[in-house]
Structures are given as structure tokens and as C-alpha cells.
């Protein structure tokens, strides 16, 4: 029924949603995180000059690993057979690193949490690798940009930037 919280049983106790009757379909979700830093720090990130190493390469791997382990981090998420996880990094201005994560599966439930987790962990990895250079880095605007597939259909965030090519 619309409006009901699906992670609660009739007594209000938390539960994992039963997806066994759902048919597997292709599911895709895209999420983003924005990491704000000083122009000098973002230059070092983009040029590979951060002392800990290649920030973008490490953050990309961290995001992919996070997507695959979402069910270990978010208590009521189902373990899903992730078929693809990609992360893109761009600097739309001289103080913002935009991280976009896209996750795919063919399954009985969506991959929104996996995409959000991938973007979040990639952003945290950027912070971890850059904190010796700048402590005031801010991670903001972690959000779902788009989801496709499943019973509820497709959805795109209002005013969201164009997701990376599929």
C-alpha cells in the first residue's frame, strides 16, 4: 500500500522486505557526492600531487568495493549480484570534485543504496587521502540522481545534472 514503510512489520519492528515473489529485471541507479576543497587542493588531486598517492584511482576502487559490500553496511539491504559499478570524477569548478557512481544489476530489488554508498565512500576516501593537505574539506549533496527498472519504474531527480553515458 502506498505510503506505508516497507521495512516495518505490522507491529512496527524492523524487517527485511521479502522480494522473493518479484521477477528479476535490469536495475540501474546513479548517485552523486560533491566534495568541496580549496582550489590548490583540487589542483593537487587532479594532477596526482597528493602525498598519499592517486586520489581518484583509490577513491574509484573504494567506491566499487563499497557498492559490492552495501549489504554489510546498511542493515536491511539485500545482498545483490552487482553486474557493473562505475565511478566518474569531474571538477565543474575550481573548488568542487563531483563524484558520480552508477551501479547495475539484474535482480529483484534496486541498486539505489549501492550507488549512494559507492558515491559516499568514494567521497570519504578523497577526504582521507587529502586531509593532510587540507582539513576543511566538505562532503555535501550526496543524492540519488536517477534510478531505472523495477515495479516502480524510472525516476530522475528534479534539476539533476545529466548522468554519465550508459
**Residue positions annotated with a catalytic role:** 128
* Separation of alpha carbons 22 and 80, rounded Å: 14
Return the C-alpha torsion angle 77, 82, 84, 85, nearest 10: 30
Nearest to 34 by CA among 159, 157, 160, 142: 142
Helix (H) or strand (E) holding 32: strand 25-36
CB burial readout 109-131, b (16+ within 10 A) else e: bbbbbbbbbbbbbbbbbbbebbe
* Separation of alpha carbons 92 and 96, rounded Å: 6
CA angle at 22 for the pair 25 and 151, rounded to the nearest 5°: 60
Contacts 24+ apart (CB under 8 A), 1-6: none
Amino acid at each position: 500500500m502506498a505510503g506505508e514503510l516497507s521495512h516495518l512489520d505490522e507491529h512496527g519492528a524492523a524487517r527485511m522486505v521479502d522480494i522473493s515473489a518479484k521477477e528479476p529485471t535490469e536495475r540501474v541507479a546513479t548517485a552523486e557526492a560533491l566534495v568541496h576543497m580549496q582550489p590548490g587542493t583540487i589542483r593537487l588531486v587532479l594532477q596526482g600531487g597528493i602525498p598519499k598517492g592517486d586520489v581518484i584511482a583509490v577513491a574509484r576502487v573504494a567506491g566499487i568495493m563499497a557498492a559490492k559490500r552495501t549489504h554489510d553496511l546498511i542493515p536491511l539491504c539485500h545482498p545483490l549480484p552487482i553486474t557493473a559499478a562505475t565511478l566518474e570524477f569531474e571538477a565543474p569548478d575550481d573548488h568542487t570534485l563531483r563524484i558520480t557512481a552508477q551501479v547495475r544489476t539484474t535482480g529483484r530489488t534496486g541498486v539505489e543504496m549501492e550507488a549512494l554508498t559507492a558515491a559516499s565512500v568514494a567521497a570519504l576516501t578523497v577526504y582521507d587521502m587529502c586531509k593532510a593537505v587540507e582539513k576543511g574539506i566538505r562532503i555535501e549533496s550526496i543524492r540519488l540522481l536517477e534510478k531505472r527498472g523495477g515495479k516502480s519504474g524510472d525516476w530522475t531527480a528534479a534539476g539533476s545534472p545529466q548522468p554519465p553515458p550508459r
